[in-house]
Amino acid sequence: AQSVAQPEDQVNVAEGNPLTVKCTYSVSGNPYLFWYVQYPNRGLQFLLKYITGDNLVKGSYGFEAEFNKSQTSFHLKKPSALVSDSALYFCAVRAYSGTYKYIFGTGTRLKVLA
Amino acid sequence: NAGVTQTPKFQVLKTGQSMTLQCAQDMNHNSMYWYRQDPGMGLRLIYYSASEGTTDKGEVPNGYNVSRLNKREFSLRLESAAPSQTSVYFCASIGRGSEQPQHFGDGTRLSIL
């Protein structure tokens, strides 16, 4: 079955420290992977994607993600966290079963402490 | 720069009432999606429309119907609302090209009493 797992419901990090939000996936074929961020009472906003090429992908707001094919992971990272990064983060993978659909993880709440 | 617009933003219904959630996008996107978001469950696909004139069931279609009125608009209807349908509903669209990200509206927060 095609799936996405975000093993941590919440991640706490001190402002200025590096952050990592984890994502693993299971999909047939080459994965198209996405990270989205959701602020309170808003829809999901696109951060970055991996389609092919360099395993380190850079995105919006200083975020980056590392694709690891052998570990089927796509972890979101940022070298120095800001309080304003506090939000809900979703990993998603594109899956194909007759047509393209997007499978989302359950989300990880990031809390950056001042 | 509207993007994806959902109406209403909030709604409270009584069990058994019907309601239509509206979604419109102004990006000339072909594909549109309806999701529901529940705590601890992420986003679950209710219905989607790969192109104008077509609709298909997603993961959790029971109790819902959809209409792709034209390329811009994709509505979600609850014929007889149940408390289990209390949720936040998101509409999304995607442009041509399999590598494109989805664009989301800001959601409709629906409570069924």
**Per-residue pLDDT tens over the stretch B9-43:** 999 999 999 999 999 999 999 999 999 999 888 89
* pLDDT given at position B29: 93
Residues of chain A falling short of pLDDT 70: none
Contacts of B35 in chain A (CB under 8 A): 104
DSSP classification of residue B102: P
Chain B: closest CA distance from residue A36 (Å): 9
* pLDDT given at position B2: 76
Look at residue A2 and give its three-state secondary structure.
coil
Interface test with A, best of B37, B44, B93, B110 (most A CBs within 10 A): B37
List, in sequence order, every residue forming a beta bridge with A74; answer none if it has no partner: A67
d(CA B80, CA B11): 15
* pLDDT given at position A28: 83
* pLDDT given at position B1: 64
d(CA A100, CA A98): 7
* pLDDT given at position B41: 86
pLDDT at B98 over 80: no
Residue-wise pLDDT tens digits, B40-89: 888 999 999 988 889 999 999 999 999 998 999 999 999 999 999 999 99
Nearest residue to B27 via CA among B108, B112, B109, B100: B100
Question: B41, A106: Cβ pair inside 8 Å?
Answer: yes
